[in-house]
Structure 1
Amino acid sequence: MFMKYIKNIVFMIVLLFACVFTVNSYAEESSFQCNTNPELIQDMNSALLQKKIRELNREYSPWDSEISLFSDFNGFVNGGITMPSTGNVRALIVQLEFPEHPLSDGLLNTLYDDFFGVHKNADPSKFFTFNDERSVSELYKVHSNGKLNFTGDVMPIYRTKEFPSYYTVNNINQLMSEILSHYKREGIVDDYSKYDSNKDGYIDSLIVLYPFYPDLEYGNAWGSHAGSGSGIIIEGDPIKVDSFVTMNNSVTSEGVSTHTVLHECGHLMGLLDNYNVGGVSGNSCTLTGTGEIMTAGSGSEKCYFNAYYRYLLDWIEPTILPYNDDLETMDLCAYENTDDNNTEQAIIFIPDYEILPFTEFYIAEYYTSFHIQNTSLEDKYRGVLMWHVNSKQSYNGTVADKTGYLKPVYKNGGTYDNYGSFMYDIPNDLYIKDDEFSAETTPSSNFYDDVYTGAYMKVLDMDSDKATVQVGFVNTDIIKQPTISVSSPSKKAVKSGSKVFYTLKYDADELGDSTDIFRDVTVNKTGTATTLHGVNYKDGTLSATVEFNSIKGEGTIGFTIGGKSAWNVSSTGLKKCASSVISETFYVDDTSPEIVFDNDEEIIWELGAEYVDSGARATDNLDPNIESKLVVDTSALNVNKAGTYQIKYNATDHAGNIAEQKVRTVKVIPISANVEYSETKLTNQNVTVTLTPSVQLVTNTELTYTFTENGEHTFTLTDLEGNTLNKTVKVDWIDKEPPTAELSYSTTKFTNKDVKVTVTPSEAVTEDTELSYTFTENGSHT
């Protein structure tokens, strides 16, 4: 169960894995056809976990071009999440009235009660029915397991300047600006930041209610939907509106439709409409009469958040099964009977999440009769409901319209209603005691395109609170996982204009169409083109070459290949894809290295002394090993003959760029001196140094020096011709400080045994030093 606690792997990242090239360079321009950069995926996942979906949609191109469950296909939500799904949320409720159609201020009390009221005396027999007497706030608390605290304020009624027919989708946001600015000017709202609980700069939840009158004409801006808040400006307040909800309030005693409120606010939290799951007719929903929140309903349906939605909204922590052949038994609890997060409310079956992209999987929940509107139904209307999540595909298996990303597994094939809509049939499509879901059943646990998953579920028992299930995967090794290998680049570093290629190999037992294995990919980078060519098949191996040419722009270049671009295909149509492989990078380097001297460019050297270089370094902008490539040429130097010599320094970096040569001048002068020390071993006495020069020196030249402590001393020796040698001597073996010592006793308590004392000196001592002593009786010892 080690995977049980992997809570939020990238469940929405939709990346159509192919041969994907990642460029990390200093070039001004880089673009990606798609991306499997592991660091980018990790960043996306982290942002998803923190519910920072708005930032993801605005920063990362895959969210703009591919399928995202966090972007409404009609463009209403614009991929942004306004309303947090957990924590404290403070909503702003606005009731409109139109000219010549005034409303009673008493309506506001009813609205507050419908949205935020506490109904301690609500009839429990009506809970989870369309007559549920609880407020929106109370329902959120129930469905979120207490994770969402929905509060807010109902504003005074606002009368529009125009009739509803005046407002269209082109000017409705202007009306929103007028409303919010009016409340600000009148002092009704002094600071809109109090409606921004998560401090992202946007109002958490703006819900605008309008009355419906049969005698009025309504423009195309009206209806129950979530709209984009683009262009809404609040005068005198920096808070913005990302999205808002408009909905019809019948202004009757029936009050607000909680189903409609939760459905539209579902958009504000990032959920999409899911009408295509089963079709819609009249007041029906995907799960007949259940009020499943993001399908269609009459507005009088009650609210059912399926396990997938609760997973996305961070209301539950599903068990994510490990991908192995071990089956285990666990209790799957109905969430209306769960008051904490310590019991399982959902189980996720994802085949080898490290291999397949986490965009398609099964999620199971225990569906009970409390969901059914008709409370007279018997307890047999309960069972395990399997959801098939496929976030990259629509209902008909294409990537066309971003709908149908979620549909139930129709155990008995589903049914059609009188209008020809395909419906989920309760209880016949629920999995009940002794039912199995596996690769051998119909429907099977294979994915839509017959990809083998090995997912297995059997219902062992059920009661009103839970279903006991056996779950896991079987035959996970039915297909060998193929492997991809990538050679080292043909060159580790190059100059602009060069070519670099890699050789790719793909090994599998059986192969499908080679176009599914490697795909041509072009990476646009300033002056850089990449091509994939030369795909060859031999003995279960495909080979190809990735070539970079016309390279410009300094930096590092590499690529990633793997994921869904490389399948192992069996004769039965079952598939398994290869793990991604990240190539080695190569350098594009047009800058020459530099050579830097650590000391003077001209030095004086003692005749006959062994030459030691005064220090030089090679530096480069990209070559990590440039220091080892410094070449020092001392071939012209002869320290045994007085004269002036040149030492030459050269360096060439990994791309062949040559540094400008540097030269150090060494003047060997005809002076040498023998050095004698009065003591060369460790001593606590002074040490005298005496020099014996090889030539006659000027008078009064210092030739002796006495060290009273460790240190250095420089003698200046000048011969009769005026040549001068500075000779430095060093002494580091004088030690005049006595050592200290720590004493340790074998015991420090009263004893009738001998006591041994051990001495630990602070520094090395002579071999004959006594370092321990044993007392046989009380006394002292020195």
Structure 2
Amino acid sequence: MKKKKQIKHLLFSLITLLSIFLSSCAPSIISYVPYDSFLEDIDTYEEEIHDGYLKPASYHPYTFKNKNNEDEVFNTFQDVFRHQKFYQNISSLKTNKLLVIPIDFDDYPSSNLEEGTEGSLEVIKNAFFGQNENNAWRSVAGYYNESSYGKFILDGKVTNWFRSSYLASDIVNNSAKANVVRNIYNEALAWYEDNYDDLSSFYVDGVRSNGIPVYLIYSHPSASGEGARNKMFWAFTINQNNTLACWSSYHLTYLKYGKPDTHTYIHEVGHLFGLVDYYNTDGLAYGPTGRVDMMDYSVGDHTGYSKMLLNWTRPYYVLGDATITIRPFYVSGDLILIKNEWNYTAMDEYLLIEFYSPNGLNAYDSRVFNNESYLMSKAGIKVYHVDARLAFLTNNNLAQTIGYVSDGLYNKEEVRLGIIHSNTSSTTYQNNRLYHLLEKSGENSFLNGHFATNETLFYKGDSFGLETFENYKLNDNTLLGYTFNIDELTNTYATISFKKL
């Protein structure tokens, strides 16, 4: 009896140890807790007039002559992006809803995921709408509420897994990516209406024809290696032909201790607003923004030009000799814009100055690991050349350029307007770049694929237009007409003096 008891106790101990071992190997699932959003008054701007500069209370309408030689007006970037209903996007102010539908396949069911069908849903809920503490960095909702300074709230819903009619193995090498996603999008919406509520609460601006924004999270692993971005199982967004959808892999959560990484999802939601990629989509080395932007390398906070487009901030506009003090951009939205005869919209060509700080939404990606970081680890001044001029385009998929609106070039074809430049050689106009981070040295190391570093930034005592960037010209062949100097730079403010030439 005694020997049997010893064996029994030994077996019990082994079973207990095995249970502990298995439980320690099981994936850690953090229960979903919603993010607590805050909404600021979007009409908080008052015009500021100072000696040599001002801050406008609002952006001005953009007026142009249409094909009937009549004045047509754009009041916002959304109006431009949706012109002639060629593209669709979500609004960037107040509360907007996003429907998140996880997609799996008969040959790659959600039960295959390490977290299982139910556990993976908790992960997705935390990634999109959960409190920041349940994520490796921020949830998508938390990120955009913070990046917008409380002017935008992302609300929404995560459904159960929807089983696609496609087999993953049948579409993995499909070249007609948009058509496949469009079909899955429509199937998923029909399934939602059959199993949940009607979709009216998700209509953009309450109008069905403005689109229904959906994020499709597929169960299959994301493509990798050479040519991955051209494959079906990649991350991309469609804003056309009655489809307003993001498409990304569940595996991009890169779970660590049960907390998802949301960088890719945040980048793709940027496309839902109408923001374009700031990296070179041709796959060439040249990255004009130095890989230090959410719409470039999927890191950090959105930067000045993006936030101007989305109406989350207003810049100080230099009118003559002036001294201007700005705070870190991540917490204030402070910017300085230099342009003779600015049109008071984001859709123009100008220089944009931003006080970068490795804090807030920049803190996570500016951490130094193995002597490297994705973002700059020091605070300093960033100077951007923005060329977001509007042009007349043929209203078809070829998007052939007729000419800049500011030049008055026009023909009688059915046309739409759009921001004609990009950071991709094959799709930009007259080889101009949309958004270029200028390097303090006056060189352009990004041409060779280099990343922005601390040396890219301007610091106290540095200047623009004196020893470097002398007689700086914009792409429209006009002189900038200013020099400036960084007089003071602390952790909380920077003072910059401007001299009109």
Q: Provide the TM-score with structure 2 as the length reference.
A: 0.68
1:387 to 384, 388, 397: 384
- What are the equivalent positions in structure 2 for 1:131-530 lying under 5 Å apart? 132-167=136-171, 168-169=176-177, 170-186=179-195, 188=196, 190-196=197-203, 198-201=205-208, 202-213=210-221, 220-228=231-239, 230=241, 241-250=242-251, 253-254=255-256, 256-276=260-280, 290=292, 292-297=293-298, 302-322=299-319, 325=320, 327-338=321-332, 345-353=334-342, 359-370=348-359, 371=362, 373-376=365-368, 381-392=378-389, 393=421, 400=429, 404-414=433-443, 416=445, 421-423=448-450, 425-438=452-465, 441-442=468-469, 444-448=471-475, 450-471=477-498, 474-475=500-501
Supply the distance in 2 between the matched residues of 1:450 and 1:402 (Cα, whole angstroms). 14
Distance 1:397 1:142, change over 3 A: same
Q: Deviations over 1:133-188 (max 9, x none)?
A: 321111111111011111110011011122124344334322221111112112x1
Supply the distance in 2 between the matched residues of 1:109 and 1:357 (Cα, whole angstroms). 39
Distance 1:426 1:220, change over 3 A: closer
1:246 maps to amino acid: W
Q: Counting helix residues as a fraction of each chain, which structure ranks higher?
A: 2
2:129 to 97, 102, 116: 116
Supply the distance in 2 between the matched residues of 1:278 and 1:349 (Cα, whole angstroms). 30
2:154 maps to amino acid: F
Report the CA distance between 1:401 and its aligned residue.
8.1
Supply the distance in 2 between the matched residues of 1:401 and 1:136 (Cα, whole angstroms). 36
**Mapped contact 1:385–1:430 kept (Cα < 8 A):** yes
Corresponding residue of 2:401: none
**Mapped contact 1:363–1:388 kept (Cα < 8 A):** yes
Report the CA distance between 1:280 and its aligned residue.
6.2
**Mapped contact 1:369–1:381 kept (Cα < 8 A):** yes
The reply on whether 1:79 has 2:81 as its aligned counterpart is no
Q: Report which of the two structures shows the higher radius of gyration computed on alpha carbons.
A: 1
Q: Deviations over 1:70-105 (max 9, x none)?
A: xxxxxxxx4332x11111011100111111332122
- Report % sequence identity: 19
Corresponding residue of 2:6: none
Supply the distance in 2 between the matched residues of 1:406 and 1:227 (Cα, whole angstroms). 22
2:330 maps to amino acid: E
Distance 1:162 1:397, change over 3 A: closer
Corresponding residue of 1:95: 102
Report the CA distance between 1:205 and its aligned residue.
2.5
Supply the distance in 1 between the matched residues of 2:164 and 2:79 (Cα, whole angstroms). 35
**Mapped contact 2:102–2:159 kept (Cα < 8 A):** yes
Structure 1: gaps (5+ residues): 16-21, 23-29, 59-77, 123-130, 231-240, 339-343, 476-782
User: What is the CA RMSD across the aligned residues, in angstroms?
Assistant: 3.8
Q: Deviations over 1:737-766 (max 9, x none)?
A: xxxxxxxxxxxxxxxxxxxxxxxxxxxxxx
1:112 maps to amino acid: K
**Mapped contact 1:458–1:470 kept (Cα < 8 A):** yes
Moved more, 374-383 or 458-467: 374-383
- What are the equivalent positions in structure 2 for 1:695-774 lying under 5 Å apart? none
Structure 2: gaps (5+ residues): 1-48, 111-116, 390-420
Report the CA distance between 1:117 and its aligned residue.
0.8
1:352 maps to amino acid: E
Report the CA distance between 1:108 and its aligned residue.
0.7
Supply the distance in 1 between the matched residues of 2:288 and 2:428 (Cα, whole angstroms). 21
Report the CA distance between 1:442 and its aligned residue.
2.7
**Mapped contact 1:7–1:317 kept (Cα < 8 A):** yes
Distance 1:132 1:398, change over 3 A: closer
| Structure 2 counterpart SS, 1:261 | helix
Q: What is the number of residues matched between the two proteins?
A: 391
Q: Deviations over 1:696-717 (max 9, x none)?
A: xxxxxxxxxxxxxxxxxxxxxx
User: Which structure is higher in RCO with an 8 Å CA cutoff and minimum separation 6?
Assistant: 2
Supply the distance in 2 between the matched residues of 1:353 and 1:133 (Cα, whole angstroms). 37
1:316 maps to amino acid: T
Supply the distance in 2 between the matched residues of 1:279 and 1:431 (Cα, whole angstroms). 29
Supply the distance in 1 between the matched residues of 2:95 and 2:138 (Cα, whole angstroms). 19
Report the CA distance between 1:270 and its aligned residue.
1.1
Supply the distance in 2 between the matched residues of 1:115 and 1:347 (Cα, whole angstroms). 33
| Structure 2 counterpart SS, 1:105 | helix
- What are the equivalent positions in structure 2 for 1:600-749 lying under 5 Å apart? none
Q: Provide the TM-score with structure 1 as the length reference.
A: 0.45
